């Protein structure tokens, strides 16, 4: 929250975070798509990580509990 950032010292906002360092893209075929669409979805897969302080100058460092919905249909992985 940008208002909170202005009131607190930068050290109070520092958190340790981990994120990907190296990654590649995996592509999945999405079943049941209409023929006139491209039925592929690509997403990043982390193969290594790095950890350090979250930089509030360019990152949102707030941890929020997120409710996630998952797909129930199996995906076919493609080598592209």
pLDDT at 80: 55
- Asked, for residue 8, whether it belongs to a domain, the answer is no
- Asked, for residue 25, whether it belongs to a domain, the answer is yes
- Asked, for residue 7, whether it belongs to a domain, the answer is no
pLDDT band at 55 (very low <50, low <70, confident <90, very high): confident
In angstroms, the CA 41 to CA 63 distance is: 27
Q: pTM for the complete prediction?
A: 0.45
**b/e burial code for range 36-73 (CB count within 10 A of at least 16 → b):** eeeeeeeeeeeeeeeeeebebeeeeeeeeeeeeeeeee
Question: Number of structural domains, the chain?
Answer: 1
In angstroms, the CA 55 to CA 5 distance is: 12
pLDDT band at 19 (very low <50, low <70, confident <90, very high): confident
**Domain span including residue 34:** 13-55+71-80
8 vs 43, which has greater pLDDT?
43
pLDDT at 28: 96
- Asked, for residue 48, whether it belongs to a domain, the answer is yes
């Amino acid at each position: 929250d940008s208002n909170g950032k202005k009131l607190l010292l930068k050290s109070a906002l520092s958190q340790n975070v981990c994120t990907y360092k190296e990654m590649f893209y995996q592509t999945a075929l999405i079943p049941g798509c209409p023929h006139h669409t491209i039925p592929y979805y690509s997403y990043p897969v982390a193969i290594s990580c790095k950890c350090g302080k979250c930089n509030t100058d360019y990152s949102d460092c707030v941890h929020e509990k997120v409710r996630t919905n998952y797909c129930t249909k199996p995906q076919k992985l493609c080598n592209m």
